[in-house]
């Protein structure tokens, strides 16, 4: 029973799980967008679900020998076994609407998609490869922010990824940022908001600090829908909010627009 049916996190209705899967993991009743894993995201975006994995030989370590209720190395091992991923991001190369592109997709299942040294390095490598080959790059963010178990080493990734993205302008290489639920903390404060186009899925939570932290700090009640994608679009922090079923063709049109403009410039 539990394997065939699930409950929507938004409308709370019991739904046949296959109906959700057939609908790109979107609730058929209320359009709530369930989170996708990084492999699901890549299959959804690349033509014929065909792509080449990149930078698969990078694994996180524990330079600080961090331990809270559990050793960091033990947490890493558990998440690697749970997700079959070395860390919280996958780099891949393939085609979208016939255009070659590099995608770096974060996976929330792996320690909340948090950005440690390996995540920052892989995003940077994706951007640097795009710079070297003049290939458009897309980063799909789904993250709680910087990884506290790596301390200042994780915070250094904000500058490293941002600096790599800044170089893309030298060669007019398109960079599109896709923000999904949630995109918060250090990821929002770095590469997630630096795209030539910043787009989000409907109702995605996007922000730096959480709503409760902000309310406690400013001692005011926040507006309804604060930090949701639609609120950010209305206030000029996003370029568009795109339903998942329209995301791939939207990206294809944007890439063609960028490339045509680059050729004519």
pTM above 0.75, yes or no: yes
pLDDT band at 1 (very low <50, low <70, confident <90, very high): very low
Q: For residue 264, what pLDDT is reported?
A: 64
Q: For residue 213, what pLDDT is reported?
A: 87
Q: Which residue has the tokens 């994706």?
A: 126
pLDDT band at 260 (very low <50, low <70, confident <90, very high): confident
**Model confidence at 27: pLDDT above 50:** yes
Q: Indicate if 11 and 92 belong to the same structural domain.
A: no
- Which residues in 14-166 belong to E strands, given as ranges? 14-16, 51-54, 89-96, 99-106, 137-143
Q: Indicate if 70 and 169 belong to the same structural domain.
A: yes
Domain count, the chain: 2
Q: Indicate if 179 and 85 belong to the same structural domain.
A: yes
User: What's 187's domain CATH number?
Assistant: 3.90.226.10
Q: Indicate if 29 and 69 belong to the same structural domain.
A: no
Q: Indicate if 135 and 234 belong to the same structural domain.
A: yes
Could you list the residue range(s) of the whole structural domain that residue 138 is in? 35-264
Question: Which of 108, 104, 90 is CA-nearest to residue 147?
Answer: 108
Q: For residue 141, what are the CA distances in angstroms to 18, 96, 114, 181, 265?
A: 25, 18, 10, 8, 30
């Amino acid at each position: 029973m539990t394997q065939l049916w699930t409950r929507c996190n938004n409308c709370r209705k019991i739904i046949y799980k296959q109906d959700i899967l057939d609908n790109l993991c979107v609730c058929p009743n209320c359009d709530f967008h369930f989170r996708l894993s990084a492999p699901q995201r890549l299959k959804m975006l690349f033509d014929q679900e065909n792509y080449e994995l990149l930078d698969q030989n990078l694994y996180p370590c524990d330079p600080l020998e961090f331990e809270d209720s559990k050793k960091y190395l033990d947490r890493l091992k558990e998440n690697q076994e749970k997700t079959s991923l070395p860390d919280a991001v996958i780099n891949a190369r393939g085609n979208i609407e016939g255009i070659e592109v590099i995608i770096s997709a974060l996976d929330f299942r792996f320690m909340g998609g948090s950005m440690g040294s390996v995540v920052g390095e892989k995003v940077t490598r994706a951007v640097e490869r795009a710079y070297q080959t003049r290939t458009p790059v897309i980063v799909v963010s789904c993250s709680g922010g910087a990884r506290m178990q790596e301390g200042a080493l994780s915070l250094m990734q904000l500058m490293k990824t941002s600096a790599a993205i800044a170089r893309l302008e030298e060669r007019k290489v398109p960079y599109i940022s896709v923000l999904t639920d949630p995109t918060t903390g250090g990821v929002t404060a770095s590469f997630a908001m630096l795209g030539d186009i910043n787009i989000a899925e409907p109702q995605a939570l996007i922000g730096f600090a959480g709503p409760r932290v902000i309310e406690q700090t400013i001692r005011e009640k926040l507006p309804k829908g604060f930090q949701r994608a639609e609120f950010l679009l209305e206030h000029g922090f996003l370029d568009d909010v795109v339903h998942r079923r329209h995301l791939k063709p939207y990206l294809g049109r944007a890439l063609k627009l960028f490339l045509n403009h680059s050729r004519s410039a």
